[in-house]
Amino acid sequence: MINDITSILEKAIKLHSLNEREILYLLKTEKNDKLFSAADKIREEYVGDEVHLRALIEFSNYCKQNCLYCGIRKDNTKIIRYRLVPQEIINLAKKAANYGYKTIVLQSGEDLYYTVDIISKMIFEIKKFDVAVTLSIGEKTFEEYKAYRKAGADRYLLRIETTDEMLYDRLDPCMSLKNRMNCLEDIKKLGYEVGSGIMVGLPGQTLESIAKDIVYLKSIPVDMAGIGPFIYHPGTPIEKSECNSFDLALKVMAILRLLMPDINIPATTAMETLNPNGRLIALQCGANVVMPNATETQYRRHYEIYPGKICPGDSPGHCRFCIENKIKSINRYAAKNKGYRRIIN
């Protein structure tokens, strides 16, 4: 076990492998700049200067689950629920493809209104626009995942949220860590690109458990890892947390880049919610993906997983061009390809 920042970073850069205690050391260090510049260098070397844009369509905020941290949880009666009909979703996807997006991400709460048949048909239609399709619709059975894959879905996003079983059981009632891990295994088996990730700064979450999360994400191994700082939502029963979840999220992201140099890592929207420059900062600490919102303006504010989400009054077109300009401002550029993970051995 090495225990000074320079040697740990050297090892990470050379071997892309660290043990749990070394990861913990990096999580605890105050020398963030060294970690961030190492991650930025590795990002440049392995995935280059292109930034992949994924158009996010939040098509329903109905959810049968009751995650304590989440603003669209079933028991939150204070939000207005909406659900788009398949043709609206397909039209939005077409619009996004016309804006030059090469990936469409379909995201919703766990909404049983959308049957396997409905989702499969949507995927099939959207694939005609020459885009990659990512699903982010929660826990399903193997057979359902299989049907979506057959319909043409390329990627699946399912954050593990935390691998700390006690924390998981407390925050995600009626769900189980074991089942979520099984879902990720199923997704992997079916040949999807696997996207997962965690939230950081949850009340009761320890740095030790985050180090374990990182080891878990590498063990899958994920093709994409999204790290979101936890943001307290007043409509939820969870308590506030004291930690600086923005900095911690950046650190987790940077460590993941060092350990999995060729994966896709988004600069998450939650980061920008906590810091007006959050996504550009993240893109310079290891990230290479941004997921701009392509949901129509009138629905956006109701998809309130956490408060203060960015661009609530903007249109899909506005977000598309705004983000491209921001990316150019740091001498990077929006990719024109579908942005699959290119595995580099």
Binding ligand 5AD by CB under 6 A: which of 228, 286, 292, 339? 228
- The three-class DSSP label of residue 170 is helix
| Residue 255 binding ligand 5AD, by CB under 6 A | no
Segment interacting with ligand FES, rule: CB under 6 A, options 60-68, 77-85, 90-98, 296-304? 60-68
Distances (CA, A) of 147 to 137, 192, 257: 14, 12, 32
Exposure b/e, 114-150, CB count within 10 A at least 16 = b: bebeebbebbebbbebebbbbbbbbbbeeebbebbbe
Q: Which does 18 bind (CB under 5 to 8 A by kind): ligand FES, ligand 5AD, none?
A: none
Residue ranges of the alpha helices (H) in 207-329? 207-219, 245-259, 269-274, 278-283, 297-300, 316-329
Q: Which does 294 bind (CB under 5 to 8 A by kind): ligand 5AD, ligand FES, none?
A: none
Is the separation of the CB atoms in 224 and 263 below 8 Å?
yes
Binding ligand 5AD by CB under 6 A: which of 63, 70, 211, 282? 70
What lies within 8 Å, CB to CB, of 317 at 6+ separation is 99
Question: Looking at beta carbons only, is 72 or 258 nearer to ligand FES?
Answer: 72
Q: Which does 172 bind (CB under 5 to 8 A by kind): ligand 5AD, ligand FES, none?
A: none
**Residue 328, both tokens:** 């150019």
Question: Looking at beta carbons only, is 101 or 306 nearer to ligand 5AD?
Answer: 306
Q: What is the Cα–Cα distance from 211 to 43, expressed in whole angstroms?
A: 21
What is the chain's length? 345
Question: Looking at beta carbons only, is 233 or 257 nearer to ligand FES?
Answer: 233
Matching residue, tokens 């844009």: 53
Cβ-proximal residue to ligand FES, closest one: 70
Cα angle, residue 225 at apex, residues 94 and 39 outer, rounded to 5°: 115
Where in 139-168 is the site for ligand 5AD (CB under 6 A)?
Answer: 159, 161
| Residue 132 binding ligand 5AD, by CB under 6 A | no
| Residue 110 binding ligand FES, by CB under 6 A | yes
Is the separation of the CB atoms in 187 and 147 below 8 Å?
no
Counting residues that bind ligand 5AD (by CB under 6 A) gives 12
Question: Looking at beta carbons only, is 9 or 231 nearer to ligand 5AD?
Answer: 231
Is the separation of the CB atoms in 74 and 63 below 8 Å?
yes
| Residue 230 binding ligand 5AD, by CB under 6 A | yes
| Residue 278 binding ligand 5AD, by CB under 6 A | no
Would you say the C-alpha torsion 41, 46, 49, 53 has a positive or negative sign?
negative
Give 76's Cβ-side CA count (13 Å radius). 28
Q: Which does 228 bind (CB under 5 to 8 A by kind): ligand FES, ligand 5AD, none?
A: ligand 5AD
| Residue 70 binding ligand FES, by CB under 6 A | yes
| Residue 73 binding ligand FES, by CB under 6 A | yes
Segment interacting with ligand 5AD, rule: CB under 6 A, options 32-40, 209-217, 225-233, 280-288? 225-233
| Residue 109 binding ligand FES, by CB under 6 A | yes
**Residue ranges binding ligand 5AD (CB under 6 A):** 69-70, 159, 161, 199, 228, 230-231, 233, 270, 305-306
**Residue ranges binding ligand FES (CB under 6 A):** 63, 65, 67, 70, 72-73, 109-110
